[in-house]
Every structure is written in C-alpha cells, then in structure tokens.
Amino acid sequence: RLLCLAEDEHILLVTQHHIVSDGWSVAVLIGEFNALYAAFSQQLDDPLPPLALQYADYASWQQQHLQGERLHAQVGFWKAHLDGAPALLELPSDYPRPQVQSYQGAALALQLPAPLSARLRRFSQQQGLTPFMTLLGAWSILLSRLSNQPQVVVGTPVANRPRRETEALIGFFVNTLALRIDVQAHSRVDQLLEQIKASTLDAYS
C-alpha cells in the first residue's frame, strides 16, 4: 500500500509473512527496490543482475541434501547434544507458570555503552571468540544462577546462508539452534567460554 502524505512525500507499506522472508531478506528487498526505483524513474532498464539460483532451487537442494546418512548424522548430533538437558528453565517469577502457555511476551531493548562494547570485542578477540560467544557465556551464567540449574539451553537464530549464491535471495533461511551449556561443569570462566565456543561451532556445522 502506498500512502500519499503530500505531492512529494509517500510511505510504502509492505506486509509479508515471516515464512517467506527473514531479516536478511528485508535488506535485500530494500536494496533491490531502491535500485529499481532509481532506474525506472529515469526510464532505464532493470539494473538487477539475474539470480544465480531461485529460492525454489535452494529448497530442492535442502530436501535432497538432508536425507539418508547425512540426516541420520545430524539427528544423532542433536539427540546427543540435548540428551538429559533440562526441559524447562525454572526462573523465579512474580506469578505461577500458567497451565496453558499463551506465548505472549515482550522485548526489552538494551544498548551497551560504547567503551564497554569495545572492551567486549577486544576481550573476545584475545580469547579467540566472537562477541556473541562471550555474551552467551555471561547470559548462561546469569540464567544458571537465577534458576539454580547447572545446565541451561539457549535458543538462538542463525542466518543459515552457507552458500554465496543465497546471499542475494529473498526467502526464509533462518534456523534456530538449541545450545546446551553446562555452566557449573567449569570452575573458570575461560574454560566455560572454551566449551561454549566448541558447542557453538559444532551446532553451526
């Protein structure tokens, strides 16, 4: 829907289901729209290069790829990774857990101060980690202490675009990984971070 606010001011509203588009795709869509608008407003031809493959090609490749021995190995990895993991995170709360989950939630925006962010990146680099891995370690320690559970499972989405040809595609590629972290198995933070790094890299592959 195009909203006309004034002769020279418009807002374009685009609604699409998450199943056809991930966050990465939004940037692709905006980039392509800008390129097309700039060209068409000057009566130029479509400037976008042809795609090396379509999303349907990727879906077909995934279906062929995840069968037989490979599928068995991947299912085996996740079964072993999550075997015996806690089913729930027993966090203390003001209200009892409802009988039926509503899945209603909220978001809390948090911005790290620039100096702290710089120190985090430096520390992560020194330890051979990504900032995500370091923050995952801190988050896991916090969840473990609040819940009094030695192990936690943290769900995290990944872009899941392993091939260069998929970078220009609009579609849903996101995968969610369940990372199991044994916080109390290590007495030192560097050991915990090493475990998180290994678990995370295994889960990515």
pLDDT in tens, 12-45: 999 989 888 999 999 999 999 999 999 999 999 9
Question: Does the pLDDT at position 181 exceed 90?
Answer: yes
0.85 surpassed by pTM: no
pLDDT in tens, 57-94: 988 988 888 889 989 999 999 999 999 999 888 888 88
Give bridge partners of residue 6 from the DSSP assignment: 9
Say if CB 47 and CB 39 are below 8 A apart.
yes
32 and 66 together in one domain: no
Q: What is the largest CA-CA distance in the chain?
A: 66
Which residue from 204, 187, 205, 160 is spatially nearest to 55, judged by alpha carbons? 160
Looking at the structure of the chain, the number of domains it has is 2
Which domain, by its residues, includes 21? Answer: 2-40
Q: Give the Cα-Cα-Cα angle 99, 105, 111 (nearest 5 degrees).
A: 145
71 and 22 together in one domain: no
76 and 147 together in one domain: yes
Say if CB 185 and CB 150 are below 8 A apart.
yes
Q: How confident is the model at residue 128 (pLDDT cuts 50, 70, 90)?
A: very high
Say if CB 48 and CB 31 are below 8 A apart.
no
Say if CB 176 and CB 22 are below 8 A apart.
no
Say if CB 68 and CB 74 are below 8 A apart.
no
